[in-house]
């Protein structure tokens, strides 16, 4: 009873989240099992059709594309971002603070702006082509837009600050004396990096991976703007099913599919972190 | 006999499975400076916090002016604490820090409060610091504000948790005198916690010696210094040589004992909590700095050979071998001879500096001064 | 050996930062281009900016975005701070539960969240507009306020709270006179962050906007999909300036506070 009194003030919070997050999610799950009529209205009739349709060749391709995009984005941001994080962590205090500011700044800047910039750069009449033609490096403009690589670039660009900061936190916390001990024992710089630094910063990498992978699944405006509006990714698909396709139950099923993918990633992350750090340091990225 | 201001009766306190305070009973009198003294982990800070209400007790009672306060939260007890790290509010200036208590309790209007604060700041010699912020003050200054902040509420008891611990030696000595005089001036009951016995002996009216959650002795500084109730107190207070001696017989007020080949008369402690010193063996405890070394034979003395002599500042520290037993002696000037290594000497002592205690289980010999391996 | 790695480091970081800001700068650059197409630079002009200020729809959606952002910011500040403070006083298990709940909206991809809220609100027959926007925006803003305030709360020395209790303060007095003043800087910075995030939100706002209340980003998004005039560039540049303004205030605020803590004397 005493515990209840102590926890009572938390009830409004629980109610708030329950209503705003919990119920809509439950809604979506339920909806995913319902059907619709020709007009697009929801018919309360239980069906597994929506989930079966995930395995339609067209739709399964979308799921795979999205997973592929998210995975590639995570790897690219990791490869490009790790050195940035590592070098920044080794900077002196003032430069370090400036670097961190510059890394985080884009996070505050409009994501549409950041995506539109790539349209300006990569279009047929875009800046890059203009420069290349202007310097007579090429005759005809390169076609760089509306490709998978375009979307990949845009997504990686959008999310790389997260990866960098996650890795940075890990590198920054490294005990420098461990590296010194390694040098002292005869290991060169590269060996020390691969045997000491890298393994110890895995929590940061795992965190960054998660922070990049999950949003990659859902940033449909990037694939929309840079991909030419073709519905090849899950976010676009769900979006158009709601707005144009009038198929809410299907959209719900796909949303549930997306959420399940997220849960799997989170599960892998938590197992990885637990194994690597013995359960400690759970909140290292947040 | 007046009723005590504060009474702890059979107080027990557990932290998880640890029994921190064991059947503590203590009376605290109005207007006294009482010190809780003991090594780390003895429970003295816990006891203080129980009085403050920052910890609850598992059994027993705490009575303030006759009524039980054990179920009252700290903000309802007329008791205030000076914290070890001062705990001044960083976002308020000095004036607002000191004004906090009265303002919360709405005990006076702002005009009267201003007067009171001026008085209190003058008392702790911090006039003129009203506008400053906490981080602009030194350790000693913060400490005085912490005291002012507590005292302004005119509590029945002021609790001080090792307030001088973070200060350097000189400042600490100075503050000890200041605190003692402050206590007398304001006539407030002080309950003071420290592990520094010198501090306790300097400042207190009474000392409560604690070990492992049990009260070992309650008495005036003189009492605990000269008449310890058991081995722990004898060892903790002052610097003594502690030896096992064979009891021969009672000799009037004294007990005749034998240490090596020496036969001496020592008084048994009147505060001994167990039986008097009438067993086969007893514990001899002599303050190292209440002993004198002489080259000529003296009555009631210990005979031995000088092992080493060190001069350190104002002290002459010697080690003497009593035929296999070592004792340490600290003198401030050599009395009648210039002794050196190898000399045969006779050790005497001030009467109040030596005591006999009943033998205890698990007794281990030790000499004072230098640590022996 | 030392200078070589230093050079490598400087080169890599410089290259990275250039790549990071080139897309942003090109948007700004072309907002001044006379030519509506990026194919050629035909001269410097502020025409596109002038066009913006006469575009009623844009001004209207800007108004909507600002109102939603301010309301979201205030609402999130209150709810997030209250939650962080409540979390101190409840049991450990409950605290963990609250932490988990707070994290939840951040973990679900915005699309899924937007869709589920859309379905939920429409089934409740809720009118889409300011209310749905503020409610949904607060979902991803409250956690940030919570986390930042909680971080600051944990830094407060427990002995200060005990001192307040000792001096007679009841729980609500402690919150009012000690806790809130001390976490205030965090509340401000996280509120500004909420403001920026709300102003920038595209995905959720797409679903939550009503017929008469579209937010600016949603409008900009449709502009980007359709038209190709640098009017969009001009708008983006103005948004950028606004963002810098918000960040500037936030930095000044946090600098002022960390300076206070550096004036230690001893």
Average pLDDT across chain B, whole number: 90
Most confident of A31-35, B205-209, B333-337: B205-209
Spatial contact of B143 and B176, defined as CB atoms under 8 Å apart: no
Query: Which is more confident, C201 or B336?
Result: C201
pLDDT in tens, A37-73: 776 677 777 888 888 888 888 888 888 889 999 999 9
Evaluate whether residue C147 is within a structural domain. Answer: yes
Q: What was the pLDDT predicted at C266?
A: 37
Mean per-residue pLDDT, C202-224: 85
Q: How confident is the model at residue A5 (pLDDT cuts 50, 70, 90)?
A: confident
SS (H, E, C) C161-220: HHHHHHCCCCHHHHHHHHHHHHHHHHHHHHHHHHHHHHHHCCHHHHHHCCCCCCCHHHHH
Give the integer Cα–Cα distance in Å for B52 and B67: 15
pLDDT in tens, B59-111: 999 999 999 999 999 999 999 999 999 999 999 999 999 999 999 999 899 99
User: In the structure encoding, which two tokens stand for residue B137, read together?
Assistant: 């003050």
Q: What was the pLDDT predicted at A277?
A: 58
Query: Which is more confident, B18 or B278?
Result: B18
CATH number belonging to domain B239-358: 2.40.50.140
Token pair 């405006």 in the structure block, residue: A221
Please state whether at least 3 CB pairs lie below 8 Å between chains B and C: yes
Lowest mean pLDDT segment, chosen from A1-5, A111-115, A220-224, C84-88: A1-5
Query: Which is more confident, A105 or B51?
Result: B51
Q: What is the pTM of this model?
A: 0.83
With an 8 Å Cβ cutoff, are C159 and B85 in contact? yes
pLDDT in tens, B318-352: 899 988 888 888 887 766 778 888 889 999 999 99
Residues near B354 by beta carbon (within 8 Å), at least 6 away in sequence: B266, B267, B284, B285, B286, B287, B290
Q: How confident is the model at residue B369 (pLDDT cuts 50, 70, 90)?
A: low
Mean per-residue pLDDT, C188-207: 90
Q: CB-CB: which of C9, C119, C224 is closest to A24?
A: C119
Lowest mean pLDDT segment, chosen from A271-275, B339-343, C146-150: A271-275
In this prediction the ipTM stands at 0.83
In degrees rounded to 5, what are phi and psi of residue A137? -80, -35
Instruction: Provide the residue count of chain C.
Output: 266
pLDDT in tens, B280-317: 899 999 999 899 888 888 889 999 999 998 888 888 88
Domain architecture of chain A: domains with CATH? 57-277 (1.10.3720.10)
What is the location of CATH 3.40.50.300 in chain B? 6-226
Q: What was the pLDDT predicted at A282?
A: 42
Long-range contacts of B212-216 (CB under 8 A, 24+ apart): B212/B22, B212/B41, B212/B42, B212/B43, B213/B13, B213/B19, B213/B20, B213/B21, B213/B22, B213/B24, B213/B42, B213/B43, B214/B22, B214/B23, B214/B24, B215/B24, B215/B25, B215/B26, B216/B38
Which of these, A174, A82, A171, lies nearest to C13 by C-alpha position? A82
User: What is the least distance, in Å, from the CA of A4 to any CA of chain C?
Assistant: 9
CATH topology of domain B6-226: Rossmann fold (3.40.50)
With an 8 Å Cβ cutoff, are A17 and C104 in contact? yes
Q: What CATH number does residue C190 fall under?
A: 1.10.3720.10
Say yes or no to pLDDT of B12 above 90.
yes
With an 8 Å Cβ cutoff, are C264 and B149 in contact? no
Instruction: Provide the residue count of chain B.
Output: 373
Nearest CA in chain A to C193: A108
C256 touches chain B (CB under 8 A): no
Range(s) of the domain holding residue C126: 65-212
Q: What was the pLDDT predicted at A164?
A: 94
With an 8 Å Cβ cutoff, are A114 and C98 in contact? no
Instruction: Please count the structural domains in chain C.
Output: 1
Lowest mean pLDDT segment, chosen from A130-144, B248-262, C133-147: A130-144
Spatial contact of A218 and A111, defined as CB atoms under 8 Å apart: no
């Amino acid at each position: 009873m005493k515990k209840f009194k102590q926890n009572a003030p938390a009830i409004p919070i629980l109610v708030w989240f329950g209503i705003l997050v919990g119920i809509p999610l439950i809604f979506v799950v339920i909806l995913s099992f319902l059907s619709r009529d020709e007009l697009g209205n929801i018919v309360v009739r239980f069906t597994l059709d929506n989930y079966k349709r995930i395995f339609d060749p067209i739709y399964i391709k979308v799921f795979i594309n999205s997973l592929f995009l998210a995975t590639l984005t995570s790897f690219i941001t990791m490869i490009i971002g790790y050195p940035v994080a590592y070098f920044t962590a080794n900077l002196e205090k003032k430069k370090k603070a400036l670097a961190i500011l510059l890394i985080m700044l884009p996070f505050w800047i409009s994501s549409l702006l950041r995506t539109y910039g790539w349209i300006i750069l990569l279009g047929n009449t875009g800046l890059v082509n203009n420069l290349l033609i202007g310097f007579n490096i090429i005759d005809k403009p390169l076609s760089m837009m509306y490709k998978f690589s375009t979307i990949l670039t845009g997504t990686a660009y959008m999310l790389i600050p997260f990866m960098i900061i996650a890795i940075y936190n890990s590198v920054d916390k490294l005990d420098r004396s461990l590296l010194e001990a390694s040098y002292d024992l005869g290991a060169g710089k590269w060996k020390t990096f691969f045997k000491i630094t890298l393994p110890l910063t895995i929590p940061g990498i795992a965190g960054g991976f998660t922070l990049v992978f999950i949003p990659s699944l859902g940033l449909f405006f990037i694939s929309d703007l840079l991909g030419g509006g073709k519905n090849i990714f899950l976010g676009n698909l769900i979006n158009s099913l709601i707005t144009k396709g009038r198929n809410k139950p299907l959209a719900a099923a796909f949303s549930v599919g997306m959420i399940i993918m997220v849960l799997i990633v989170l599960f892998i992350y938590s197992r990885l972190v637990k194994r690597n750090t013995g359960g400690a340091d759970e909140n290292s990225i947040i | 006999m007046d009723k005590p201001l504060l009474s702890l009766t059979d107080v027990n306190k557990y932290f998880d499975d640890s029994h921190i305070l064991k059947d503590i009973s203590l009376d605290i009198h109005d207007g006294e400076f009482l010190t809780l003294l003991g090594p780390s982990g003895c429970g003295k800070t816990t006891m203080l916090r129980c009085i403050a209400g920052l910890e609850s007790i598992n059994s027993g009672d705490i009575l303030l002016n006759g009524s039980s306060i054990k179920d009252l939260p700290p903000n309802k007890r007329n008791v205030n604490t000076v914290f070890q790290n001062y705990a001044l509010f960083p976002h308020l200036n000095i004036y607002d820090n000191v004004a906090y208590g009265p303002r919360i309790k709405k005990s006076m209007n702002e005009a009267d409060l201003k007067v009171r604060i001026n008085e209190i700041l003058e008392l702790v010699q911090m006039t003129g610091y009203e506008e400053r912020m906490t981080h602009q003050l030194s350790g000693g200054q913060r400490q005085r504000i912490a005291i002012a902040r507590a005292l302004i509420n005119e509590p029945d008891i002021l609790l001080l948790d090792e307030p001088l611990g973070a200060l350097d030696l000189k400042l600490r000595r100075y503050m000890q005198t200041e605190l003692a005089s402050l206590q007398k001036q304001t006539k407030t009951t002080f309950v003071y916690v420290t592990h520094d016995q010198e501090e306790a002996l300097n400042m207190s009216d009474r000392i409560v010696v604690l070990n492992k959650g049990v009260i070992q002795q309650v008495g005036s500084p003189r009492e605990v210094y000269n008449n310890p109730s058991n081995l722990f107190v004898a060892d903790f207070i002052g610097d003594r040589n502690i030896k096992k001696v064979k009891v021969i017989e009672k000799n009037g007020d004294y007990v005749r004992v034998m240490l090596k080949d020496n036969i001496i008369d020592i008084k048994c402690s009147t505060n001994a909590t167990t039986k008097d010193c009438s067993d086969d063996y007893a514990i001899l405890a002599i303050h190292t700095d209440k002993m004198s070394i002489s080259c000529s034979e003296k009555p009631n003395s210990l005979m031995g050979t000088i092992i080493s002599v060190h001069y350190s500042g104002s002290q002459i520290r010697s080690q003497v071998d009593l035929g296999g037993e070592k004792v340490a002696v600290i003198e401030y000037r050599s009395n009648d001879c210039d002794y050196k290594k190898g000399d045969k000497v006779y050790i005497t002592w001030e009467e109040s500096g030596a005591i006999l205690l009943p033998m205890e289980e698990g007794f281990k010999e030790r000499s004072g001064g230098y640590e022996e391996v | 050996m030392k200078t070589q790695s230093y050079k490598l480091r400087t080169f890599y970081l410089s290259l990275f930062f250039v790549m990071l800001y080139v897309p942003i700068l090109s948007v700004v650059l072309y907002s001044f281009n006379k030519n509506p197409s990026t194919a050629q630079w035909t001269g410097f002009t502020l025409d596109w900016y002038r066009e913006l200020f006469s575009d009623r729809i844009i001004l209207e959606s800007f108004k909507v975005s600002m109102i939603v952002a301010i309301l979201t910011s205030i609402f999130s500040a209150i709810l997030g701070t209250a939650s962080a403070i409540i979390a101190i006083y409840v049991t450990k298990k409950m605290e963990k539960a609250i932490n988990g709940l707070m994290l939840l909206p951040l973990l679900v991809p915005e699309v899924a969240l937007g869709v589920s809220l859309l379905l939920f609100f429409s089934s409740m027959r809720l009118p889409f507009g300011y209310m749905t926007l503020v409610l949904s925006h607060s979902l991803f803003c409250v956690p940030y306020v919570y986390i930042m305030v909680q971080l600051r709360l944990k830094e407060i020395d427990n002995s200060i709270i005990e001192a307040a209790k000792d001096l007679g303060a009841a729980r609500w007095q402690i919150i009012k006179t000690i806790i809130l003043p001390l976490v205030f800087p965090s509340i401000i910075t996280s509120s500004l962050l909420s403001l920026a995030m709300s102003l920038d939100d595209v995905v959720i706002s797409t679903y939550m906007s009503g017929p008469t209340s579209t937010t600016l980003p949603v409008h900009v998004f449709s502009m980007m999909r359709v038209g190709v005039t640098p009017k969009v560039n001009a708008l983006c540049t103005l948004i950028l300036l606004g963002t810098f303004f918000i960040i500037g205030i936030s930095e000044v605020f946090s600098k002022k506070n960390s300076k206070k803590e550096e004036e230690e004397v001893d």
